[in-house]
């Protein structure tokens, strides 16, 4: 069996799929609506929500707060009301869609999520009809980008989850004023949930390789006085980590020494870092637009490709080690190969997956 490095490099050659053209300035807006469900005809008590029962439900939207102009807001609300699937009232998941908006001079993408005081999917249609009016809301986050907003779905879902208890604790109405805290968060949705990547790359470009290493290694502690940069670095690491797919070791174990990131006005220092060409190469991908001209959508796509490359390497290495369980020559041939030193050896050393650790350290 010949060494299959060429096959793997062809499989994970992702750099060509990223466009590095500088994106134009992005316009970002928001709108907060209350919505009401009205059932036009009664349904049998035992009938579960179906396509037929949904046809008897009408949806109305009332504006609570928005930074859109009156004309643009009416255009957006009309589009949202006609597009919003009735079935989505039974789901708390956020959704992303596009529409043409005159003031945006082209297509716009928007993320919307429904916030309900009670879960409608736990009740039948008759329960919906008998229930008293509830405060149900739609959060809409609008961006003048043509594509890429879906890459930040997790950030936007977390943002809406942050707003949910605030809205439920002090429900805004048409006759009341939205709290200043809620308004401030809505105004900064793009700054905090999308642009953090641009700020982090612009301010930490000399140590991007170290940040990517920490994201893969895990177990980092961020200290310093620059609160904004600390928050941006924390979100950058969260965006680049594979913790949701891998089993990280407990903090403080010998195999995973804690990395302390000291944030200062002049930059960042790391208490522990293992130099690797792999992380340096991907840092250069993130900097391919230049350290002062960074498109967050390009950066997010590059980070997703970075994580995909690691997953593919881990899966390939896992298959190799499984074959090596019955062929010790393959174990010698592949495990000692320098191509694995860049990422897989770091993964193995820090025991990111229990299975790989068991395969690697099981005595022959």
Range with the lowest mean pLDDT among 113-122, 190-199, 203-212? Answer: 113-122
**pLDDT confidence of residue 296:** 92
Which of the listed ranges 212-221, 227-236, 291-300, 314-323 does the model predict with the highest average pLDDT? 227-236
- pLDDT at residue number 122: 47
Is pLDDT at 272 greater than 80 in this prediction? no
Mean pLDDT of 269-288: 85
Residue 356, pLDDT > 60, answer no
Confidence (pLDDT) at 107: 84
The mean of the pLDDT values for the chain is 75
With 80 as the cut, is the pLDDT of residue 126 above it? Answer: no
At 194 the pLDDT is: 95
Distance between CA 351 and CA 302 in Å, rounded?
25
Q: What is the pLDDT of residue 333?
A: 67
pLDDT confidence of residue 23: 46
The predicted model scores a pTM of 0.77
pLDDT over threshold 60, residue 181: yes
pLDDT at residue 187 tops 50: yes
For the chain, the three-class secondary structure string (H helix, E strand, C coil) is CCCCHHHHHHHCCCHHHCCCCCCCCCCEEEEEEEEEEEECCCCCCCCCCCHHHHCCEEEEEEEEEECCCHHHHHHHHHHHHHHCCHHHHHCCCCEEEEEEEHHHCEEEEEEEEEECCCCHHHCCHHHHHHCCCCCCEEEEEEECCCCCHHHHHHHHHHHHHHHHHHHHHCCCCCCCCCCHHHHHHHHCHHHHHCCHHHHHHHHHHHHHHHHHHHHHHCCEEEEECCHHHHHHHHHHHHHHCCCCCCCCCCCCCCCCCCEEEEEECCEEEECCCCCCHHHHHHHHHHCCCCCCCCCHHHHHHHHHHHHHHHHHHHHHHHHHHHHHCCCHHHHHHHHCCHHHCCCHHHHHHCCCCHHHHHHHHCCC
Which of the pair, 19 or 331, is modelled with greater confidence? Answer: 331
157 pLDDT higher than 90:
yes
Please say if the pLDDT value at position 349 is more than 90. Answer: no
Residue 283: per-residue pLDDT: 92
The residue with greater pLDDT, 141 or 269, is 141
Q: 265 vs 127, which has greater pLDDT?
A: 265
Q: What is the pLDDT of residue 42?
A: 56
And the tokens for 19?
Answer: 């466009």
**How confident is the model at residue 102, as a pLDDT?**
75
Mean pLDDT of 262-272: 84
Kindly state the average pLDDT of the residues 118-135: 50
For residue 222, pLDDT over 60 is answered with yes
User: Residue 45 CB: number of other CB atoms within 10 A?
Assistant: 9
| pLDDT > 90 in the chain, percent | 28
> Taking residues 148-171, what's their average pLDDT?
91
pLDDT > 70 in the chain, percent: 65
């Amino acid at each position: 069996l010949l060494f299959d490095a060429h096959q793997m490099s062809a499989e994970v050659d992702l750099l060509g799929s990223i466009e590095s053209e500088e994106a134009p300035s992005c316009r970002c807006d928001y709108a907060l609506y209350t919505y009401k469900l009205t059932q036009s005809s009664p349904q049998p008590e035992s009938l579960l929500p179906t396509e037929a029962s949904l046809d008897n439900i009408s949806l109305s939207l009332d504006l609570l707060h928005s930074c859109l102009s009156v004309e643009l807001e009416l255009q957006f609300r009309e589009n949202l009301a006609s597009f919003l699937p009735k079935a989505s009232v039974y789901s708390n998941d956020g959704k992303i869609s596009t529409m043409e908006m005159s003031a945006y001079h082209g297509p716009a993408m928007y993320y919307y999520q429904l916030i309900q005081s009670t879960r409608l999917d736990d009740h039948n249609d008759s329960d919906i009809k008998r229930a008293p009016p509830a405060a149900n809301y739609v959060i809409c986050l609008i961006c003048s980008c043509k594509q890429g907003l879906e890459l930040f779905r997790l950030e936007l879902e977390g943002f809406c989850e942050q707003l949910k208890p605030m809205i439920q604790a002090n429900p805004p109405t048409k006759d009341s004023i939205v709290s200043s805290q809620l308004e401030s968060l809505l105004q900064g949705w793009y700054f905090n949930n999308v642009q953090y990547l641009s700020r982090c790359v612009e301010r930490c470009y000399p140590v991007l390789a170290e940040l990517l290493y920490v994201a893969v290694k895990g177990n980092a502690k961020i200290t310093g006085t620059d609160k904004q940069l600390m928050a941006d670095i924390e979100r950058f690491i969260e965006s680049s980590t594979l913790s949701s797919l891998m089993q990280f070791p407990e903090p403080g174990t010998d195999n995973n020494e804690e990395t302390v990131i000291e944030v200062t006005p002049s930059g960042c220092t790391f208490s522990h870092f293992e130099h690797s060409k792999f992380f340096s190469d991907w840092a250069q991908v993130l900097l391919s637009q230049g350290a002062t001209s960074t498109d967050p959508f390009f950066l997010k796509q590059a980070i997703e490709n970075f994580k995909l490359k690691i997953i593919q390497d881990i899966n390939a290495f896992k298959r190799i080690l499984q074959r090596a369980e019955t062929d010790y020559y393959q174990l010698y041939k592949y495990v000692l190969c320098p191509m694995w030193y860049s990422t897989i050896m770091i993964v193995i050393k820090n025991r990111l997956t229990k299975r790989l650790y068991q395969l690697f350290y099981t005595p022959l």
